[in-house]
C-alpha cells in the first residue's frame, strides 16, 4: 500500500511539472521592424506560425505598404470593398482619438504625409501654402464613414487613409489576443519599441518592467531614461528626434508629425510622448496626438480623459528639455 501511495505521489509530481508554464521567448520581424515576445505557457502550440497569421491579417487589412491590402484598394478609389473587423476596429479607435483630441489625430492626412515624404509615394518637389491649401480639401475624418454594408464612404475619392499611427499598436493587441486564446495569461510583447504587458514576470514574481527611451538615443544603441512597471496595459511612444526629412533643394526640415488642422509638418514644443493605456492601439494613437497638440493642449486633454497616462518631453522658452508626466504615470515609475 505504501508503495502504491509513493508511485501515485511521483506521478502527480511529474504531472504538475509537465503542466507548469514554461518561460519562452519568440523573436521575429513584423510591420517593418522587429519584435520580441516573452511569455509563459504549458500548452503546446505553434506560436510563430500563429503570430505570422495575425500579422498577415493586419497587413492585409490596413497596411498602406501592401498594394493589394484593403486600405490600398480603398485609397485607390475602390468603393465596393467590404471591410473586415480589423479595419473597423482601427477606424473606431481612430474616431475615438480624433474626437477626443479635437481633430489633432486624423488618419485622413495621408495626402499630406505623402506630399512631405513620409508616406509610400514620392514627395512633392515644392510644398508652399497654395499646395497645402489644395491638399487640405482631402483631409478630415468627418468626411468619411463606414456604411451599414461595411463599405467605406468618402466625400472625395482623393481622401487617403494612413493608419500607421495606430495600426502597429493595434497589431500588437491582436498578437496578445492570439496568445490569450492559447491560454497564455502572462506575457510581454515588444514590437518596434511599443509594448503590451499582461500578468506578471513569473521568473521574478513581479510586474513586467519596461524602459522609456531617451530622446537622444540612437537606433543601434538605445538608452533609457526611466523604467516603469506595466501589467494589463499597452505602451507606445512617438518622437520627432529620428523621424524627419530635409528637402534637398530648399534645405527645409520637415518632421513626421503633421498638424491635421493646418497641414503643416512642423514640430510642436513636445519632442516625445510616451503613453500608457488600456490597449496598445489607443496608446499608439494618443502618443501621435500629443506630438501634434503641444504641451498645453496635451495637458488639457489628459485632465479630462480617463485611463490615459503620459510622459512628455518638451522644450521650454530657453529651448531646454523638460519633462511633464501625469500622476498616474509617476505612480508606475520604478526607483
> Quick count: other Cβ atoms within 10 Å of Cβ 87?
25
Distance from C-alpha of 171 to C-alpha of 145, rounded to nearest angstrom: 22
> Which pLDDT value is given to residue 192?
92
Q: Which among 143, 136, 145, 73 is positioned nearest to 110, based on CA atoms?
A: 136
Report CA-CA distances (Å) from 269 to 257, 295, 297, 322. 12, 6, 11, 10
> Which pLDDT value is given to residue 266?
76
> Which pLDDT value is given to residue 124?
76
Q: Which domains does the chain have, with CATH numbers?
A: 22-330 (3.10.520.10)
Outline where 108-260 has alpha helix (H): 110-116, 129-136, 164-181
* Spans in the chain with pLDDT lower than 70: 1-19, 120, 215-224, 240-256
Report CA-CA distances (Å) from 216 to 124, 273, 283, 312. 29, 13, 22, 14
Per the structure block, which three cell numbers stand in for 317?
522658452
> Which pLDDT value is given to residue 258?
87
Query: Has this prediction a pTM greater than 0.75?
Result: yes
Amino acid at each position: 500500500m505504501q508503495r502504491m501511495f509513493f508511485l501515485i505521489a511521483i506521478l502527480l509530481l511529474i504531472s504538475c511539472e509537465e503542466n507548469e508554464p514554461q518561460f519562452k521567448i519568440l523573436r521575429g520581424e513584423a510591420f517593418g521592424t522587429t519584435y520580441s515576445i516573452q511569455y509563459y505557457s504549458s500548452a503546446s502550440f505553434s506560436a510563430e506560425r500563429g503570430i505570422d497569421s495575425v500579422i498577415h491579417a493586419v497587413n492585409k487589412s490596413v497596411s498602406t505598404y501592401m498594394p493589394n491590402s484593403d486600405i490600398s484598394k480603398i485609397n485607390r478609389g475602390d468603393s465596393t470593398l467590404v471591410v473586415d473587423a480589423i479595419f473597423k476596429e482601427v477606424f473606431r479607435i481612430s474616431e475615438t482619438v480624433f474626437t477626443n483630441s479635437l481633430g489633432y489625430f486624423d488618419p485622413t492626412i495621408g495626402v499630406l504625409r505623402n506630399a512631405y515624404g513620409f508616406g509610400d509615394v514620392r514627395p512633392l518637389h515644392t510644398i508652399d501654402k497654395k499646395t497645402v491649401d489644395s491638399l487640405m480639401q482631402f483631409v478630415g475624418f468627418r468626411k468619411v464613414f463606414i456604411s451599414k454594408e461595411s463599405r467605406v464612404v468618402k466625400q472625395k475619392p482623393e481622401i487617403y487613409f494612413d493608419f500607421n499611427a495606430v495600426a502597429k499598436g493595434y497589431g500588437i493587441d491582436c498578437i496578445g489576443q492570439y496568445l490569450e486564446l492559447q491560454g497564455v495569461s502572462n506575457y510581454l510583447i515588444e514590437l518596434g519599441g511599443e509594448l503590451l504587458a499582461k500578468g506578471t514576470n513569473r521568473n521574478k514574481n513581479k510586474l513586467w518592467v519596461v524602459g522609456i527611451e531617451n530622446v537622444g538615443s540612437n537606433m543601434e544603441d538605445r538608452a533609457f531614461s526611466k523604467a516603469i512597471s506595466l501589467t494589463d496595459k499597452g505602451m507606445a511612444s512617438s518622437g520627432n528626434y529620428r523621424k524627419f526629412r530635409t528637402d534637398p533643394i530648399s534645405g527645409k526640415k520637415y518632421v513626421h508629425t503633421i498638424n491635421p488642422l493646418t497641414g503643416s509638418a512642423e514640430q510642436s514644443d513636445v519632442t516625445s510622448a510616451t503613453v500608457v493605456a488600456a490597449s496598445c492601439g489607443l496608446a499608439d494613437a494618443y502618443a501621435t496626438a500629443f506630438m501634434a497638440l503641444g504641451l498645453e493642449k496635451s495637458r488639457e486633454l489628459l485632465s479630462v480623459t480617463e485611463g490615459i497616462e503620459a510622459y512628455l518631453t518638451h522644450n521650454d522658452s530657453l529651448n531646454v528639455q523638460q519633462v511633464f508626466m501625469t500622476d498616474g504615470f509617476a505612480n508606475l515609475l520604478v526607483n
